[in-house]
Amino acid sequence: MKRRISIIWKYFIVYSLTATVVIFALATLVSVTTRGRYQKTIESELNNYAIFASEVFSSVLDISPAEADKLAKNLGTRTASRITLIAPYGKVMADSEENPDQMENHSERPEVKKALSGDIGISTRYSTTLKESMSYVAAPIVENGEIKAVVRVSLKTQAINLLIGQLTRRIIFFAIAAWVIALILTLLFSSVFSSSVKQMVNLTTRLAKGDFTTRAHVKSRDELSELAAALNEMSEKLQSLFGQIRTRHDELNATINSMTEGFLVLDNRLCIRLTNENFKKMFAAEGDIIGRSYIEVVRCVGLKEMIDELLQESQVKGKRIEFGAGVFLGSGAAFKAEGEKENRFVLVFHDITTDVQFERIKADFVANASHELRTPLAAINGYLETFEDEDTATQRRFIAVIRRNVERMSHLVSDLLLLSRLEAPNPQLNFEKVNLFDITEDVTKLVERLAKDKSIDLKIEIEPDVAVNGDSFLLEQMLLNLLDNAVKYTKHGEVILRARKEGEKVIVQVEDTGIGIPPEHLNRIFERFYRVDKARSRELGGTGLGLSIVKHIVQLHDGEIHVDSRPGRGTTFTIYFPTKE
């Protein structure tokens, strides 16, 4: 694993290298430039000395060699340089430092040759006389256009180099001092910069871990302070936002766990994303099930069928699921979370185990009670038939009352048994194509006698080809109950049974001109044992279950029933059946 380099050292290395290169480049440039300029300055001074010396010697050309040599020494002392007087043919006439008689001919010296040509001669070379490097400037002494002599001024380069070396050392000293100061400033700047960056790194690290209370404190007035302020503002907003999210999450969990229903949310991979304790209790799920596939958690065929249906239809309502001893009613829908392309699925399960058990107990009770009642009723009816042979009028009247009540109890038992069958979870139905005109004949025979006794005109208006896909026995029972009620509650007038096909529906109507039903009773007439007029109903022998049976039969055939009634003018029951093949 590579060792991590701190940002402070990165900036320090970069800045220090930059400062080093810049400072030493400047020092080198200054040194070279200064050396060149100093060299030129010395040459300029030597040139001035040479001109000055040539002017001095031009006025005393006729002096003796000894005096000329003395003058050269005097000028050399004054100018701190070596002064040499040279004849046009190269012989040294005077010199401030050496004996002229012992010096070589100088006519071939470069600076002398240049001066003899009439120009100022400049040269830096090794002196064979002094055995060291010298800088020379030679100027001609001209009189009446003729070169009478050459004055040469020279200076040891060692002295020049010494002066330049001193200057260079000073430049190097100041360069090193500037470099050290630059390094210190760079280190301080990098430290301050690194401290600010570390604060922001610490802030972002804590933000990533969910700690939104940390803040960055940067006192500089630059982009770093702006960045720190932006991060602090973001941290505050995230703290507020996550606080709201936590509150909503807690509220959601409290709401979900307080539900009496089972709750389940699945993602597009059918893994559990959210649930509550009631779901886990319903389906015997244990432990942490979040993130696991529902198939691993719950082995339930009904739940799998519901989810398969949900994948195809995107919505499921009222799916009955049995698991263990429990019975549940499930509903579900697909939805897309914000920013997601795939569907998620939410499912809700109502525990109807108690309701189912209650309905089962009720159905068993009705069936058992009905069967238990049938036996004594049959016995009573048999004895009544025996007593009817007697001729006593009073006895026959009592027997008629008993028979009427026995018949009423028999009808009640029959209706209870039929209603119990219709309300069973999975009633056994024999669906087939039923022609309504064909089954009407048997039904009308059962009510025809009563209609004639009350002078009621019973009309049948059914098209021959009107058919419904259904159970013929139940459809007959439906028509019988409606016609029987219509005849019983009609004093005079007519009762009409109509049936026709309109588009995708078959419409069945039973209309009478009877007493009608008050509006306040219309929403309750399909309830079991509900009677609008209890005294009249008992007098007519009604059980209070007829319309409830009619409603259940219509619902089992996916139909709808509506009632329209006006007191004193009659009632119309309208039934709509789908035309299923």
Q: In the chain, what's the furthest Cα-to-Cα distance?
A: 205
Parallel/antiparallel/unpaired status of strands 146-156 and 326-335: unpaired
Q: E strands, 247-400, where? A: 262-266, 272-275, 315-323, 326-335, 344-351
Beta bridge partners of residue 459, listed in sequence order: 496
* Contact of 467 with 431, CB cutoff 8 Å: no
Task: Give the pair of three-digit tokens for residue 496.
Answer: 């009409």
Of the candidates 477, 475, 561, the one whose C-alpha atom is nearest the C-alpha of residue 526 is 561
Which of 27-30's residues contact partners 24+ apart within 8 Å by CB, and which partners?
A: 27/171, 27/172, 27/174, 27/175, 30/171
| Least confident stretch, 402-411, 507-516, 566-575 | 402-411
Residue 529: count other Cβ atoms within 10 Å of its Cβ. 11
Q: Which residues contact 290 (CB under 8 A, 6 or more apart)?
A: 272, 273, 274, 275
Beta bridge partners of residue 573, listed in sequence order: 510, 563
* Contact of 214 with 203, CB cutoff 8 Å: yes
Beta bridge partners of residue 458, listed in sequence order: 495
| Nearest-angstrom CA–CA distance, 422 and 65 | 160
Beta bridge partners of residue 326, listed in sequence order: 323
Residue 479 has pLDDT above 80, yes or no: yes
CA distances from 31 to 35, 40, 175, 347, 542 (A): 6, 14, 11, 87, 130
What is the pLDDT, as a whole number, of residue 8?
A: 62
Question: Which burial class, exposed, middle or buried, applies to 414 when counting CB atoms under 10 A from its CB (0-12, 13-18, 19+)?
Answer: middle
Mean pLDDT across the chain: 80
Residue 396 has pLDDT above 50, yes or no: yes
Quick one: DSSP state of residue 454? Answer: T
User: What value does the mean pLDDT take over residues 468-497?
Assistant: 89
User: What value does the mean pLDDT take over residues 420-438?
Assistant: 81
Beta bridge partners of residue 502, listed in sequence order: 505
Question: What are the two backbone dihedrals, phi and then psi, of residue 55, each rounded to the nearest 5 degrees?
Answer: -70, -40
User: What value does the mean pLDDT take over residues 263-268?
Assistant: 90
User: What value does the mean pLDDT take over residues 184-193?
Assistant: 74
Q: Is 364 helix (H, G, I), strand (E, B) or coil?
A: helix
What is the pLDDT, as a whole number, of residue 1?
A: 45
More confident of the two residues 407 and 5? 407
CA distances from 351 to 154, 354, 419, 494 (A): 121, 8, 24, 49
Question: What are the two backbone dihedrals, phi and then psi, of residue 285, each rounded to the nearest 5 degrees?
Answer: -90, 135
Of the candidates 515, 529, 519, 488, the one whose C-alpha atom is nearest the C-alpha of residue 571 is 515
What is the pLDDT, as a whole number, of residue 572?
A: 93
| Nearest-angstrom CA–CA distance, 406 and 572 | 31
Helices (H), 423-514: 436-453, 472-488
Quick one: DSSP state of residue 217? Answer: -
For 128-149, give the DSSP string. Answer: TTTTEEEEEEEEEEEETTEEEE
* Contact of 4 with 159, CB cutoff 8 Å: no
| Nearest-angstrom CA–CA distance, 164 and 20 | 23
Most confident of 29-38, 52-61, 375-384, 509-518: 509-518
Parallel/antiparallel/unpaired status of strands 146-156 and 493-502: unpaired
Round the CA-based radius of gyration of the chain to a whole number and report it.
Answer: 64
Question: Where do we find the tokens 């070279």?
Answer: 32
What is the pLDDT, as a whole number, of residue 83?
A: 86
pLDDT in tens, 527-556: 777 776 655 545 555 667 778 888 988 998
